Chains A and B, each alone.
Chain A
Amino acid sequence: MAFNELAFEKPINELKEKLNELKNGKAATTTSGKAKIARYEKKLNILIETTYQKLTPWNIVKIARHPKRPHFKDYIKNLGKDFIELHGDRNFRDDPAMLGGFITIGTQKLMIVGQEKGRDTDDKIYRNFGMASPEGYRKALRLMKLAEKFKLPIVTFIDTPGAYPGIGAEERGQSEAIARNLREMMSLKVPTLSIIIGEGGSGGALGIGVTDEIQMLQYSIYSVISPEGCASILFRDAKNAEISAKALKLTSSDLLKLKVIDGIIEEPSGGAHNNPQYIYENVTGTIINVIKRLKKTGLSYLLKKRLKKYKNMGIYEK
């Protein structure tokens, strides 16, 4: 199997390779060859469509974590202009797992904050695989408070396996940092939007995810625990992750039904990594539309609505 390839992607990639061979070979010059290429192209599109129509939650988990999936840094590069990165929590250090800064998307000036998993091995280690430490959450809050003070709407990009479970993170109060963000984000006096672009890993995701609106990429995931973690605790074996992925109801369509998220951002067939430009355009459009809509809402009503949305979450016996 080729590097970076998911099992269910294999037939697609094989067909793609064949098609490329044909296109680069003699066939491309003959009439019958051209017809063959056209047939293969059609076949490929159908295969992609049918494969992506019957994805299981576990397949979606794999797409959400796909090594080629666009990360926060890719969105920064491709969504807007004049990005100015801001560093540090003014307290301990700059956490490279959490990025943030000013950006202009369309004509809208914004503060963006999000986790970055890193791309190559060195970068992944430097970014701690997108697992932020307390100083990351405190940096995020500092930037969000800065945005509030200077009346910039906030967009957060969520992509993390979870907040970092380490000795230093515990010493510096991982719990307190996340808890404070949850409380403070509920009262930020500017429009706020969060977008889950890959993995929404539990409290580590929620720590920058309490917002007026939550949008989710079609093949991203969001849950209280990873399927592997859930499998090893509740299903007694991490190998049951496929089953627990289904049980956790972690896909975008599940979460829309549960009214936890406000919308799904459509991905190209084959997932965002197969056509990044497509997803950048969709995300850009979503940000511009949502922020425009939220800005029209009066501030005191916006804050009331935000709190009420969270107050209404949960299903219980009355």
Chain B
Amino acid sequence: MGWFSRKKKPEHNKDTSVDIKKEAWKKCPQCGEIIWMKNLIDSEYTCPSCGYHFRLTFKEKIVLFTDQDSFTELFENIGCVDPLNFKDVQPYKKRIQRTQQKTGRKSAFVAGVAKITGIDVAIGFLNFEFMGGSLGSAEGEKISLLIEHAIENHLPLIIVSSSGGARMQESILSLMQMAKTSGMLGELGKTGLPYISVLLDPTTGGVSASFAMLGDINIAEPNALIGFAGPRVIQQTIKQDLPDGFQKSEFLVEHGMVDLIIKRKGFKEKLGKILDYLNGN
């Protein structure tokens, strides 16, 4: 027996309608093409002429990666605080406040349950628009709770990452979130439930060096920056030019760190097929 059944009734049905973008058009950062917003949405936020994958907000991710209206959020009240009274050019407290106001979110991680081609999943998104998607205490706790939820409810787990790494303003506490989330994935692994890690542009530092690299299957979008150290840090250390395509998804596939690259168009369907394989016969 596998871990899911398609016959289950949808338990969650919450409206997560996407905000319609205010701008009428966007310029492709790769080829310079001017793309009408409608065309951009029709092509899943990829450039119709060069295939460039635009960065997504979490709402866009929910629409693209899960079945329509199937996503229900969990643990949404868990939010960032300033545990160390940290102050750089501005106090971390203020940074949190401003980011929370701007994004309407309490942390960089959105956790929930949803369906992917009819399959129930526990799914979470680490979102770049909230402080570079950095991993702090609140994010680590939500990831840990989501893993627990997957174990308790016998659901496959999917985490979609887009992050610059650990959150410096929480120093050692953010570093410990790497251990916490990775340890919890060990618990999930013991149950036989699958974990699929989806790596979007960019996934680096403490996030790639913890839960994002530990998927039973690691999937990347094309041309995403994925690595441990940032390219600038490496360049400063070794004092030589970096090879073309260094730390891009294709590089990671070539070096055996990512299972496959899936283009955004048809992503959900392919993800559903992989989940089906992981369910066995």
Contact = CB atoms under 8 A, between A and B. Distances in A.
Interface in B78-112: 78-81, 83-84, 86-89, 106-107
Interface in A294-316: 307, 310-311, 313-316
Contacts of B233: 165, 229
27 contacts: A163-B229, A167-B246, A172-B255, A174-B227, A178-B228, A179-B178, A179-B209, A182-B179, A182-B182, A186-B182, A223-B172, A230-B168, A234-B168, A248-B168, A248-B172, A249-B84, A250-B172, A254-B172, A260-B172, A310-B176, A311-B183, A315-B81, A316-B79, A316-B81, A317-B79, A317-B106, A318-B78
Interface in A266-318: 307, 310-311, 313-318
A171 B255 contact: yes
B234 interface: yes
Given A167-B238, A206-B178, A315 B88 contact: no
Contacts, number: 199
A224 B206 contact: yes
B88 A244 contact: yes
Nearest to B233: A165
Nearest to B236: A165
B88 A235 contact: yes
B214 A186 contact: no
A170 interface: yes
A170 B176 contact: no
A15 interface: no
B208 interface: yes
B260 to A, nearest CB: 16
Given A163-B228, A224-B166, A235-B88, A255 B172 contact: yes
Contacts of A223: 171-172, 175
Interface in B32-87: 77-81, 83-84, 86-87
B155 interface: no
A166 interface: yes
Interface in B219-245: 226-229, 233-234, 237-238, 242-243
A241 interface: no
A173 B227 CA distance: 8
Interface of A: 163, 165-167, 169-176, 178-180, 182-184, 186-187, 202-203, 206-207, 209-210, 222-225, 229-230, 233-236, 244, 247-250, 254-255, 258, 260, 307, 310-311, 313-318
Interface of B: 77-81, 83-84, 86-89, 106-107, 136-138, 140-141, 144, 166-180, 182-187, 189, 205-206, 208-214, 226-229, 233-234, 237-238, 242-243, 246-247, 251, 255-257
B interface secondary structure, majority = helix
Given A165-B229, A175-B209, A314 B243 contact: no
B247 A170 contact: yes
B183 A183 contact: yes
B168 A314 contact: no
Contact of B137 (A180, A255, A315): A315
Contacts of B208: 175, 179
Contacts of A313: 137, 140, 173, 176-177, 179-180
Contact of B179 (A173, A186, A258): A186
B237 A166 contact: yes
Contacts of B84: 247-249
B86 A247 contact: yes
A317 B173 contact: no
Given A163-B228, A166-B238, A260-B173, A186 B186 contact: yes
B168 A222 contact: no
Top 6 closest A-B pairs, CB basis? A314-B137, A165-B229, A186-B183, A315-B83, A182-B182, A234-B88
A210 B78 contact: no
Given A182-B210, A183-B183, A165 B178 contact: no
Nearest to B180: A310
Nearest to A312: B180
Contacts of A207: 209
